[in-house]
Amino acid sequence: MAQSIDDEDLTRLRGRTVLVAGGRVSGLATVTPLQDLGARVLVTDSDAGAVANAVARGAGGVHQDELLADSAAFDDIALVVTSPGLRADSAILAAAAGRGIPIWGDVELSWRIDRAGLYGSPSKWLVVTGTNGKTTTTSMLASILDSAGIDSAACGNIGLPILDALQQDPHPAVLAVELSSFQLFWAPSVHPEAGVVLNIAEDHLDWHGGMDGYVLAKAGALTGRVAVVGLDDERAASLASTSPAERVVGFRLTEPSVGELGVVGPDLVDRAFAEHASLVPVADVHPAGPAGVMDALAAAALARAVDIAPEHIADGLRTYQVGPHRNAVVRTLGGVTFVDDSKATNPHAARSSLLAYDRVVWIAGGLLKGAAIDELVAEIAPRLTVALVIGRDGIQIAEALARHAPDVPVVTYPAGDDAGVTRVAEDADEVMQAVVLEAARRAAPGDTVLLAPAAASLDMFVDYGHRGRSFADAALALTGSDVGDRGGRA
């Protein structure tokens, strides 16, 4: 865990060197604020282009290999600010820790800069984390804050660096902050006005060294004034008893008890911040279905924690627009519906969309990141008509299908002796075109061809957005003659 430094130590950075480990979006966002604190900024990365971008912003730059080769390179460094994806045992961070140099994440730096009032009065942080639903919940919350007329910004893991948000004009009074487990791990000082843990399922276990480390990182969102937990998720609910928050609130899909939000008849209802306040009809929540309602309840709980009125919550949820690659219908052709849920980057996320359709031609695979797939496959097996698996860990999904769904035809890309071989991004669109065409040929009217990979995308694609766009482009290129020309079955 990052080492602790008193807040007043920000003033001690003047004239000192701060090493920024990682020169991508979050790393570059730290350059100007660190310079505003009077620090000398040195950015390191394994990519020469990223180092060049940092130099163009007025920072110093050094390639990671060059830095590690210089035994005296760390002598003048007062602080390391790390990009969230770097593990504590990475070469750069291990070298810094071995010399007793404090290590902060960019979110930790953001929190301390905000508390110090560098860019204005400290903002209220509303933190969203969980294995799945983070971006949807954060976006719903941002829509609610906008409907209430509050100067705010959605930032963090959702895309906009927190430090960039803090420099906006007008300065945001409230931040809707999406945080990953990596970001929380490197930000131990963050104590938000309110924070939510939506759910916890196996994900990033390789990074955290197991489930206990992953759960501990997620629990960092519950250390502020109000802690909100998803009661229908056993692991998330268990954090209620250990949270140091002044107040713990739960939400559930069924009728809420006192101190909870939930569903009563046709409405989302708050019994935590009011005796009984109807918030919005379930029918007005998008995306529809249990996952969308849960995310809406979580967003509503955070909004109620900062005294936003029910009518603004209703307006914000009604006007919220679902983001791309989240169970989005691309087209219907020949009675077959093509759905892009590329954002389903782990088995827990894929489960929600797979259970929404009765007959599924499933496109899955990528990087499982240590997550188990058997439980998901066993549960959704009756819905599958065909499975097409891609990517580095696709063979693991194919093997699980053989164990739990032996009657479901499985096609592996690449096939034969090349199965399980990583394909580089230049080949990814070509592979996706072949997969979607094969899926269309094997589909029958009434089937859903669903991209719900249950795995990360970076073995083949630039990111999950690239994967989703590739799927959509391939589906839109199909003609009527491509659908069902094998009678819908292998």
Residue numbers belonging to the annotated binding site for ATP: 130-136
Q: How far is CA 181 from the centre of its chain?
A: 9
Return the exposure string of 372-406: e unless at least 16 CB atoms fall within 10 Å of the residue's CB, then b: ebebbbeebbebbbbbbbbbbbbebbbebbeebbe
Starting at the edge strand found earlier in the chain, the sheet holding 448-451 runs: 328-333, 336-340, 448-451, 360-365, 384-390, 410-412
**Which residues line the annotated binding site?**
130-136
DSSP reduced 3-state for 257: coil
Reported as half-sphere exposure (CB side, CA atoms, 13 A), residue 193 has a value of 18
CA 262/CA 274 separation, integer angstroms: 13
DSSP reduced 3-state for 405: coil
DSSP reduced 3-state for 218: helix
The position carrying tokens 């979110």 is: 107
CA 323/CA 410 separation, integer angstroms: 30
Ranges of H-type helices in 167-267: 181-185, 205-208, 211-218, 234-238
Peptide bond into 281 cis (omega under 30): no
Check the CA dihedral 191-225-246-316 and report its sign.
Answer: negative
Nearest to 170 by CA among 153, 156, 187: 153
Q: Which amino acid is at 179?
A: L
CA 210/CA 372 separation, integer angstroms: 12
Tokens coding 398: 């194919």
Q: Which amino acid is at 102?
A: P
CA 297/CA 252 separation, integer angstroms: 8
Ranges of H-type helices in 190-230: 205-208, 211-218
Q: Which amino acid is at 275?
A: E
Cβ–Cβ under 8 Å, residues 439 and 328: no
The neighbour count for residue 446, using CB atoms within 10 Å, is: 13
The position carrying tokens 């009765």 is: 358
Ranges of H-type helices in 234-385: 234-238, 290-305, 310-319, 347-354, 374-380
CA 359/CA 345 separation, integer angstroms: 21
